[in-house]
Amino acid sequence: MTEEERFQLKCINTIRTLSMDAVQAANSGHPGTPMAMAPVVYCLWQRLLRFDPEDTIWPNRDRFILSIGHASMLLYSILHLCGVRAVNPKYEVLGELSVTLDDIKRFRQLDSKCAGHPEYRWTSGVETTTGPLGQGVATSVGIAIGGRWMGEYFNRPDFTMFDFDVYALCGDGCMMEGISGEAASLAGHLRLSNLCWIYDNNKITIEGHTELAFSEDVATRFIAYGWNVTRVGDANDLEMLDRAFRTFKNTNDRPTLIIVDSHIAYGSPHKQDTSAAHGEPLGEEEIRLTKRNYKWPEEAKFLVPEDVREHFQSGIGKRGSALRKEWMERFAAYKGKHPELADHLYRMQARQLPESWDKGLPSFPPDAKGIASREASGKVLNALGKNIPWLMGGSADLTPSTKTRLTFEGAGDLLAGNYGGRNLHFGIREHAMGAILNGMSLAKVRPYGSGFLIFSDYGRAPLRLAAIMEIPVIYIFTHDSIGVGEDGPTHQPIEQLASLRVIPGLITLRPADANEVVEAWKFIAQSRHEPVALVLTRQALPTLDRTKYAPAEGVKRGAYILADADDGKPLVLLLATGSEVSFCVDAYEKLKAEGIKARVVSMPSWEMFEYYCSKHPEYRESVLPAAVTARVSVEQASTLGWERYVGPHGHMIGMHTFGASAPLKALQKKFGFTPENIVVAAKEQLKLAKH
The catalytic residue positions are 430
Q: How far apart are CA 491 and CA 73, in angstroms?
A: 43
Note whether 533 and 559 are within 8 A (CB). Answer: no
Q: Is 284 exposed, middle or buried (0-12, 13-18, 19+ CB in 10 A)?
A: exposed
50: nearest Cα among 122, 171, 134, 147: 147
Phi, psi of 103 (to 5 degrees): -60, -45
Strands (E), 330-376: 367-372
First to last CA, the chain: 91
Q: How far apart are CA 563 and CA 226, in angstroms?
A: 58
Assign 3-class secondary structure to 609-660.
Answer: HHHHHHHCHHHHHHHCCCCCCCEEEEEEEECCCCHHHHCCCCEEEEECCCCC
SS3 271: helix
Q: How far apart are CA 380 and CA 362, in angstroms?
A: 6
Q: Which amino acid is at 434?
A: G
Q: How far apart are CA 27 and CA 20, in angstroms?
A: 10
Phi, psi of 95 (to 5 degrees): -80, -20
Q: How far apart are CA 291 and CA 31, in angstroms?
A: 13
Establish how many alpha carbons lie within 13 A of residue 307's alpha carbon, considering only the half-sphere containing its beta carbon. 7
**Alpha-carbon distance values, 373 to 91, 475, 492, 579, 662 (Å):** 37, 15, 17, 9, 21
302: nearest Cα among 107, 118, 115: 107
497: nearest Cα among 485, 509, 486, 489: 509
Note whether 219 and 201 are within 8 A (CB). Answer: no
Q: How far apart are CA 606 and CA 502, in angstroms?
A: 10
Q: How far apart are CA 418 and CA 403, in angstroms?
A: 23
DSSP 132: S
Q: How far apart are CA 631 and CA 624, in angstroms?
A: 9
247 alpha-carbon distance from chain centroid: 31
Q: How far apart are CA 86 and CA 95, in angstroms?
A: 7
DSSP assignments along 472-540, one per residue:
--EEEEES-SGGGGGG-GGGS-SSHHHHHHTSTT-EEE--SSHHHHHHHHHHHHH-SS--EEEE--SSE
DSSP 418: B
Residues paired with residue 600 on neighbouring β-strands, in sequence order: 563, 574
Phi, psi of 597 (to 5 degrees): -85, 115
Q: Is 149 exposed, middle or buried (0-12, 13-18, 19+ CB in 10 A)?
A: buried
Residues 463-489: b if buried by 16+ CB within 10 A, e if exposed: bbbbbbbebbbbbbbbbbbbbbbebee
